[in-house]
Structure 1
Amino acid sequence: MRHWIATAFAVALAWPVAAAQLGDDGLHKTPWMRDTFKDLREDLAEANAEGKRLVLFFEQRGCIYCTKMHEEVFPDPKLTQLIEDKFFVVQLNLHGDVDVTDFDGETLSEKDMARKWNLLFTPTILFLPESVAEGQTAQQAAVAVMPGAFGVGTTTDMFTWVAEKRYELDNGEDFQRYHARRIQERSNGSTD
């Protein structure tokens, strides 16, 4: 009997972390996504009040790359913790009809906003600064844009690069150089 319990426990521990649930809109839902009125000025103010960075996360129903991110990347405990601690994530539907109010005051459906911002792929993640200049759009103000699905290392590095405001540093280390350095450090075993 004890052998059976030990085996069952080992099997349970080997199962992957559950993927995000699909909502009625066909998009993945995670606990760290915020349900807002999608007025980006209000979302930015709320993110700032919580000491977090606003992130706009575009997905679409049936997106195999979104599924990959939610099943293989976002369940990583360190990445999940980073997102929960440092980011205020608002999900948008590439083909959705929910109204979104941009920083410039224009209100459009999600799908029309995606067209305005020239977004073509899902997933696409826009990282916003703490303040947006008057008249700027979210796409113009974004400090980084991550178009497409990437692995845990690249995704973690992008979220870390933004959280640490490395885009502001004048040290010649853009994201690609930062990411290359982090890959080397991980392969050397000198960092997590």
Structure 2
Amino acid sequence: MLKSLTLALALVAAPVMSATVGDDGLHKAPWIIDTFKDLREDLADAGAEGKRLMVIIEQRGCIYCTKMHEEVFVLPVIEKLLTDDYYVVQLNMFGDLDVTDFDGTVLPEKDMIARWNMMFTPTMMFMPESVPDDVTAVQAAVATVPGAFGKFTTFNMLNWVKNHGYDSDEPFQKYHARMIEAGAFPE
């Protein structure tokens, strides 16, 4: 019991390290995977690692992206989920790197993001384990989260997607409320 309490206190008291910022102005956390941005390949690689594909859209100077990287993603329980259970691919809202969508369309990041009608950063899109060849990422996503959220919402969303909550009759908002009421956030 004392060992468990000591470990729990150490995890809460442990200093959190924020992600570095790359030349493109985006945060570079250790759990973000640098890929060729072919979502079909990324989905296959995620599956091979037993992880879920998450696409995160960010932009230089985004104060909400900074909030997520410095206050939420760095919390040990959330960072562990991102590291252990997710294959995270980062896209730059105004970037020029080519992205290949699930339907085979290839466009620069900024044009792909416009095609998807994404307007906010950060935006997290969570993909199912398999995606048909004739759909876009937006059509395939099992959940899309535009904007910055606190630790409880982020933790619960990561768990809800990981555990296929979208396949149940309980929408995320009800799951989230139930988890908050149960005090399910480990601290």
The one-letter code matched in structure 2 to 1:154 is T
Hey, what's the Cα distance between the residues in 2 that align with 1:104 and 1:37?
A: 16
Hey, what's the Cα distance between the residues in 2 that align with 1:40 and 1:72?
A: 28
C-alpha deviation, 1:16, in angstroms: 4.2
Hey, what's the Cα distance between the residues in 1 that align with 2:15 and 2:144?
A: 29
Hey, what's the Cα distance between the residues in 2 that align with 1:55 and 1:147?
A: 13
Identical aligned residues as a percent: 61
1:61 maps to which residue?
60
Hey, what's the Cα distance between the residues in 2 that align with 1:139 and 1:14?
A: 39
Q: Secondary structure at the match of 1:62?
A: coil
The one-letter code matched in structure 2 to 1:126 is M
Hey, what's the Cα distance between the residues in 2 that align with 1:179 and 1:163?
A: 14
Q: 1:75 to 1:51 in 2, by over 3 A?
A: same
Larger radius of gyration: 1
The 5 Å alignment of 1:6-45 reads 16-45=15-44
1:182 to 2:163 alignment: no
What do the CA deviations read for 1:123-156 (whole angstroms, capped 9, x no partner)?
0000000101121000100000010000011001
C-alpha deviation, 1:83, in angstroms: 1.0
The gaps in structure 1 that reach 5 residues or longer are 1-12
2:115 maps to which residue?
116
Q: TM-score, normalised by structure 2?
A: 0.90
Root mean square deviation of aligned Cα = 1.4
The gaps in structure 2 that reach 5 residues or longer are 1-11
1:107 to 2:102 alignment: no
C-alpha deviation, 1:14, in angstroms: 6.5
Give every structure 1 segment of 4 or more consecutive aligned residues whose post-TM-superposition deviation is greater than 2 Å: 13-16
Q: TM-score, normalised by structure 1?
A: 0.88
Query: What is the aligned length?
Result: 175
The one-letter code matched in structure 2 to 1:104 is D
